[in-house]
Chains A and B, each alone.
Chain A
Amino acid sequence: MVKIVEKRQLTPITKLYRVYAPLIAKAARAGQFVIVRVREGGERIPLTITDYDRDSGLLTIVVQEVGATTRRLGELQQGEEILDMVGPLGEAPDIPSGGHIVGVGGGYGSAALLCLMRELKDRGENTTIIMGAREKDLLILSDELNEICDHVEICTDDGSAGFKGFVTERLQQMIDGGPPGPPDYVIAIGPMAMMRAVEKTTRAAGIANAASLDPLMIDGTGMCGGCRVTVGGETRFACVDGPFFDAHEVDFDEAVSRSKMYVKQEQKAAACQRSAAGAA
Chain B
Amino acid sequence: MPVKRADKTPMPVREANLRAHDFEEVNEGYCFAHAMFEAERCLRCQDPVCIDGCPVRVPIADFMHAVAAGDMPKAAELLRTANPLAAICGRVCPQEAQCEANCHMTKRFGPVAIGHLERYVSDWEMEQPINDEVAKPWRDEKIAIVGSGPSGLVCAGELARMGYTVTVFEALHAPGGVLRYGIPEFRLPNSILDWEIQSLERLGVEFVNNVIIGKTLKLEQLFGEMGYKAIFIGTGAGLPKFMGIPGESLNGVYSANEFLTRINLMQAFDFPRSETPLSVGKRVAVIGSGNTAMDAVRSALRLGAEHAMVVYRRSENEMTARIEEYEHAIEEGVEFHWLTNPIEVLGEDGWVTGLKCLRMELGEPDESGRARPVPIEGSEFIFPVDNVVLSIGTRPNPLLHKATPELKTHSWGGLLVDERQVETTVHRVYAGGDAVTGAATVILAAGAGKRAAEAIHADLSVDREKSATN
> Which chain A residues have a beta carbon within 8 Å of chain B's beta carbons?
23-24, 27, 37, 41-44, 68-69, 83-89, 218-219, 221-226, 228-230, 235, 240, 254, 257-258, 260-262, 265-266, 268-269, 271-272
> Can you sample 8 A-B contacts with CB below 8 Å?
A23-B217, A24-B216, A84-B209, A86-B172, A86-B212, A218-B262, A221-B238, A262-B279
Specify which chain B residues have a CB less than 8 angstroms from the CB of A229 in the assembled complex: 249
Bound CA–CA A27/B265 (angstroms): 26
How far apart are A227's CB and chain B's nearest CB, in angstroms? Answer: 9
Which of A27, A69, A83, A228 contacts B217, CB < 8 Å? A27
Specify which chain B residues have a CB less than 8 angstroms from the CB of A44 in the assembled complex: 173, 266, 276
How far apart are A202's CB and chain B's nearest CB, in angstroms? Answer: 24
A221 close to B279 (CB less than 8 A):
no
> Which chain B residues have a beta carbon within 8 Å of chain A's beta carbons?
171-173, 181, 209-212, 215-218, 238-240, 242, 244, 248-249, 251-252, 254-255, 257-258, 261-262, 265-267, 270-277, 279, 350, 397-399
Specify which chain A residues have a CB less than 8 angstroms from the CB of B254 in the assembled complex: 225-226
* Given contact pairs A41-B267, A269-B271, A269-B272, A224 touches B211 in the complex (Cβ within 8 A): no
Specify which chain B residues have a CB less than 8 angstroms from the CB of A69 in the assembled complex: 275
Specify which chain B residues have a CB less than 8 angstroms from the CB of A271 in the assembled complex: 272
Q: 8 other contacts beyond A41-B275, A272-B273, with CB at 8 A cut-off?
A: A27-B217, A88-B216, A89-B215, A258-B249, A265-B271, A265-B272, A268-B272, A269-B272
Specify which chain A residues have a CB less than 8 angstroms from the CB of B171 in the assembled complex: 86, 219, 221
B249 close to A224 (CB less than 8 A):
no
How far apart are A215's CB and chain B's nearest CB, in angstroms? Answer: 10
What are the 3 closest A-B residue pairs judged by CB atoms, nearest first?
A265-B277, A257-B350, A224-B258
CB closest chain-A residue, reference B259? A224
CB closest chain-A residue, reference B248? A235
B249 close to A43 (CB less than 8 A):
no
Bound CA–CA A69/B277 (angstroms): 12
* Given contact pairs A41-B275, A44-B173, A269-B275, A222 touches B238 in the complex (Cβ within 8 A): yes
How far apart are B289's CB and chain A's nearest CB, in angstroms? Answer: 19
How far apart are B174's CB and chain A's nearest CB, in angstroms? Answer: 9
Bound CA–CA A272/B275 (angstroms): 10
Specify which chain B residues have a CB less than 8 angstroms from the CB of A86 in the assembled complex: 171-173, 210-212, 216
A226 close to B258 (CB less than 8 A):
yes
B271 close to A222 (CB less than 8 A):
no
Bound CA–CA A265/B398 (angstroms): 33
A223 close to B240 (CB less than 8 A):
yes
Bound CA–CA A44/B210 (angstroms): 12
CB closest chain-B residue, reference A261? B251
Specify which chain B residues have a CB less than 8 angstroms from the CB of A84 in the assembled complex: 173, 209-210
A223 close to B257 (CB less than 8 A):
yes
CB closest chain-B residue, reference A276? B273
Bound CA–CA A4/B275 (angstroms): 23
